[in-house]
Structure 1
């Protein structure tokens, strides 16, 4: 019998909060049970395992990111849209480091299909249509953008840029300018 008040949604949200506080890798069913002051067994009517919990947190994070990106992209095109999308990822990572890490969690095919990951790809592809990229270049560009956004954010959050000039905001702006220029002048194969 499920404990009153505990739902999968509530557990996923509490797990996401825990991830932001202690790190995504530290989130376990045991840690979540302590947060609710219940026995671990109480949570197994909602969860199969810590992996299942992490999957739910990842799906929540992807949904939150997709919602933010959708709002930020509304009515934008070209470089303005590219910058808005990039800033959503960077801001989300800064505000919710554990959830951002969860968004990178490898999902099984069934969970991936049910997640908001497809929305992310659709939004990125919509931005790229403004740059007149067709396949397979569009796929290459999606991978490039994901790599640059995630790489920069990961290095910045890990302190990789903290001991050097210029300011990381200036670098971020220059990176986005360079991406825009590259996308406008995509090299032929």
Structure 2
């Protein structure tokens, strides 16, 4: 890519690709400059250092994840929406492990912060599914955290080759979705009786 055409978006996208290839912890400005065919100081015209690059990669990842899960749940409800979300989430994590890792622990400042807004879109997709199961606003954050832990944990283990014993991991994933669906459905029935 010619130097004159390099944009901040090009730098961030190349950084995200590099993080996916070498791992988020090994993302470095020197390696990124080499990939882009520029000297390291040239990158500072586009990003304010490694911390800024990492934050921008996290924002890109949350934006992409939000688009993927919204597309997967569009027009669906109940177990179909839950399964669509879970599969899209897991597919993103396994396809983009470095950039997804950038999202873990990335600090947000509030509305108007691009990372906050991108994260909020993912959470709203999750909330829409959970509202369909009757999860009330007072319990929403707990339900969202539970689902993220389950989907994140499964996908991270699968991406790291953590399921090496017999049995199809995809079948286990489908079983987990069914287990969650049954639990949410049962909880909604209990709430209806109160």
Calculate the TM-score normalised by the size of structure 1: 0.91
- Residue 100 of structure 1 deviates from its aligned partner by 2.1
CA offset digits 1:102-153 (Å, max 9, x no partner): 2324134269831210001110000011101113222211111001001111
* Alpha-carbon distance in structure 1 between the residues aligned to 2:162 and 2:34: 34
**Higher mean Cα deviation, 133-142 or 80-89?**
133-142
Please name the residue that 1:172 is paired with: 173
- Given that 1:55 and 1:111 are in contact with CA atoms closer than 8 Å, whether structure 2 keeps it comes out as no
- Point out the structure with the larger helix share: 2
Which stretches in structure 2 are left out of the alignment for 5+ residues? none
Cα distance in structure 2, aligned partners of 1:168 and 1:111: 38
**C-alpha contact (below 8 Å) 2:94/2:156 kept by paired residues:** no
Cα distance in 1 between the residues matched to 2:32 and 2:105: 18
Q: 1:111 to 1:129 in 2, by over 3 A?
A: closer
Q: Which stretches in structure 1 are left out of the alignment for 5+ residues?
A: none
The answer as to whether partners of 2:94 and 2:158 remain within 8 angstroms in 1 is no
**1:183 corresponds to:** 184
- Cα distance, 1:24 vs structure 2: 1.3
Contact 2:19-2:98 within 8 A present in 1 as well: yes
Change over 3 Å in CA distance of 1:143–1:110 after alignment to 2: closer
Contact 1:16–1:99 (8 Å) recurs in 2: yes
- Kept in 2: contact 1:66–1:119 (CA 8 A): yes
Q: After superposition, what is the alpha-carbon deviation per residue over 1:5-32, rounded to whole angstroms, capped at 9, x for unaligned?
A: 1111010111111111111111121111
**Superposition RMSD in Å:** 1.7
CA–CA distance in 2 between the matches of 1:152 and 1:139?
20
* CA pair 26-112 structure 1, distance change in 2 beyond 3 A: farther
Partner of residue 61, structure 1: 61
The residue that corresponds to 1:88 in the other structure is 88
Name the count of aligned residue pairs.
Answer: 185
